[in-house]
């Protein structure tokens, strides 16, 4: 269990300068490149943000646009945004395959390649006794199948959509995670 001091040591500290700016030294590995850029970016409506450093450590400096802006409050906002960005990016990475899959499914649906979802089943009150018994029998059969499938760890998830990003990375067995150097070059915009 981490001590309070150790925990505090992991929290980025704000350094308020006499020149009217506040800066943070951030570990890219601990905080994540995307959350760092994201938190700085979100505050460009009220501050000028500059970045310096390397792949391991980034220094973010915020200089308020308005001279009346409280630097301590600004630093607290940045740190809160940083934590929030970590969650937002974790959700985005974990669920990127979901987004892509559903968009692809929508295209297939639009082109008639897959059937539309079934209409909802009739309300329970509308069912006859025979229908009710049949449904209970089917439910019991399906429950048995699911138990068997779970034991074999075969979910209907051929693309591991439901697996988290971390689980898929682990399953990749030694494939390195993408790093900044490996990113493909930026695309140029079309223009007249």
Partner 1 sequence: MSRLTSLPPGKPLRPGHLGAFNFRDMGGWHLLTNDWGRHLRLEAADFERFLSGGIKPEDPLWAALRQGGFLRDQMDFNDLASSYLRKNSFHWFAGPSLHMVVVTLRCNQKCLYCHSSVVDPSRTDTDMDLETAKRTVDFIFQTPNPTLCIEFQGGEPLLNWPVVKFITRYAQKKAEAARRRLIVALVSNFSLMSEERLDFLLDHHVSLCTSLDGPPELHDRNRPFLGGGEAQGKVVAWLERIQRRCQADSSRRAYLPGALMTTTRFSFPFAREIVDLYAGLGLEQIFIRPLSPIGYAKRVWSEIGYGPEEFVAFYERTLDTILELNRTGRSSLMERTALILLTKILKGEDPGFMDLRSPAGAVLGCLAYNYNGEIFVSDEGRMVDHEGDPIFRVGHVAENDWASVLDHPTTRACVTASVLENQPMCSQCAYKPYCGVEPVFHYETQRSVFGQTPSSPWCVSHMGLFDAIFRRLRDPGASAVFEEWLARDQCRWQENDPEPAGEPQGGGRAYAP
Partner 2 sequence: MRLEIDPQEPSVSFSAPKSVYSQDGLRIAAHVFATRAEVLVAKYRDSYAVTLKSKRRSASQADLEALAGEFLNELLNQEYRFLVGRFNHKISGLIVTQVLLAARGGEQAVKPPSEERSAEFQAAVAVLMKEAEEEALRTMPKRIAPQGRPLPPAPEGG
Q: Which residues bind partner 2 (CB under 8 A)?
A: 33-34, 37-38, 40-41, 44, 48-55, 58, 61, 63, 65, 92, 96, 99-100, 103-104, 107, 183-189
Site residues, partner 1 (CB under 8 A): 38, 41-45, 77, 80-81, 83-84, 87-88, 90-92, 94-95, 98-99, 101-103, 105-106, 108-110, 114, 116-117, 161-162, 164-167, 189-192
3-state helix/strand/coil string of 173-184: CCCCCCCHHHCC
Shortest separation between residue 110's beta carbon and partner 2, angstroms: 8
Shortest separation between residue 39's beta carbon and partner 1, angstroms: 8
Q: Which does 94 bind (CB under 5 to 8 A by kind): partner 1, partner 2, none?
A: partner 1
**Exposure on the CB side of residue 66, measured as CA atoms within 13 A:** 7
Question: Do residues 101 and 159 lie in contact, with contact meaning Cβ atoms separated by under 8 Å?
Answer: yes
Q: Which does 131 bind (CB under 5 to 8 A by kind): partner 2, partner 1, none?
A: none
By residue count, the chain amounts to 192
Shortest separation between residue 60's beta carbon and partner 1, angstroms: 14
CA distances from 135 to 63, 72, 98, 126, 147 (A): 65, 63, 31, 13, 18
Provide DSSP, 134-179: HHHHHHHHHHHHHHHHHHHT--S-TT--SS-HHHHHHHTSSPPPP-
Shortest separation between residue 47's beta carbon and partner 2, angstroms: 8
Q: Which is nearer to partner 2, 3 or 68 (CB)?
A: 68
């Amino acid at each position: 269990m981490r001590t309070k001091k150790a925990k505090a040591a992991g929290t980025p500290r704000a350094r308020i300068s006499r020149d009217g700016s506040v800066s943070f030294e951030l570990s890219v590995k601990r905080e994540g490149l995307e959350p760092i850029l994201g938190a700085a970016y979100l505050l460009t409506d009220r501050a000028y943000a500059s970045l310096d450093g390397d792949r391991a450590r980034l220094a973010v400096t915020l200089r308020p646009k308005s001279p009346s802006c409280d630097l301590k409050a600004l630093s607290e906002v940045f740190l809160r945004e940083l934590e929030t960005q970590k969650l937002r990016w974790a959700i985005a990475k974990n669920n990127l395959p979901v987004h892509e899959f559903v968009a692809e499914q929508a295209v297939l649906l639009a082109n008639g390649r897959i059937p539309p979802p079934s209409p909802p089943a009739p309300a329970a009150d509308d069912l006859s006794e025979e229908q009710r018994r049949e449904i209970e029998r089917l439910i019991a059969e399906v429950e048995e199948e699911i138990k068997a499938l779970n034991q074999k760890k075969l979910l209907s998830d051929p693309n591991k959509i439901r697996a988290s990003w971390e689980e898929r990375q682990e399953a990749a067995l030694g494939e390195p995670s993408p790093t900044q150097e490996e990113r493909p070059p930026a695309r140029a915009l079309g223009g007249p």
